[in-house]
Amino acid sequence: MSPSLTIAEIPTVKAAKGATATITIKAHLASGYHANSHTPTDAYLIPLALTWTDGPLKMQKIDYPAGSMEKYPFSDKPLSVVTGDFSITTQFKVPANAASGPAAQKGGLKFQACDTQRCYAPKTVPVNITVSVE
């Protein structure tokens, strides 16, 4: 069975027009698995990547967790990975002309996980946040 990655529910985010808003998502990768960090050690590896696709906020910067260097039986050198609980923070700009009221900010978190013996196809977990533009 392929590994699950869950994202904790995020309370409605209040965003003031013209200001910046910071949103942190808290993710959990099932025990016994690891996923490549955003900066994997090998060009062939698929990085952890958060993509914002729709919503009133304009993404400015994403801060990923620093990967921990772990050694696995299938790699000669340590790999930069995330395991268990980790957070990703996004800094947004709230456009001055954004429509007031609640809106959906949508994205997806792509990850590719392995255990010590096998790997699983990359998956994208949807990230949906309610934003209240004020």
Partner 1 sequence: MNLVRSIQIGIVAAALGVVACSMYDREPAPHSELKDTTDRKKAPDFALKDSHGNVVHLSDYKGKVVLLDFWATWCGPCNIEIPWFTDFERRYKDRGFEVLGVSMDDDGWKAINPFVTAKQINYKIVLGDDMTSDQYGSVEALPTTFVIDREGRIASIHIGLSGKKEFEDAIEKLLDAPASGGSPKRANES
Which residues lie near partner 1 (CB under 8 A)? 1-2, 32, 44-46, 72-75, 79, 112, 114-122
Least distance to partner 1, CB of residue 22, Å: 31
Q: Which is nearer to partner 1, 23 or 48 (CB)?
A: 48
Smaller CB separation from partner 1, 17 or 72: 72
Q: How far is the CB of 83 from partner 1 (least distance, A)?
A: 13
How far apart, in whole angstroms, are the C-alpha atoms of residue 64 and residue 39? 9
Shortest Å distance, C-beta 74 to partner 1: 4
Integer Cα distance of 95 and 56 in angstroms: 8
Whether 131 contacts 56, CB under 8 Å: yes
Distances (CA, A) of 12 to 7, 15, 24, 103, 131: 15, 10, 12, 10, 6
Q: Is the separation of the CB atoms in 117 and 73 below 8 Å?
A: yes
CB of 2 to partner 1, least distance (A): 5
Cα torsion angle, 59, 65, 69, 72, sign:
negative
Q: How far is the CB of 51 from partner 1 (least distance, A)?
A: 15
Minimum CB distance to partner 1 smaller for 51 or for 100:
51
H/E element, 110: strand 101-111
The residue among 1 and 96 lying less far from partner 1, judged by its C-beta, is 1
Q: Select 2 or 60, whichever has its Cβ closest to partner 1.
A: 2
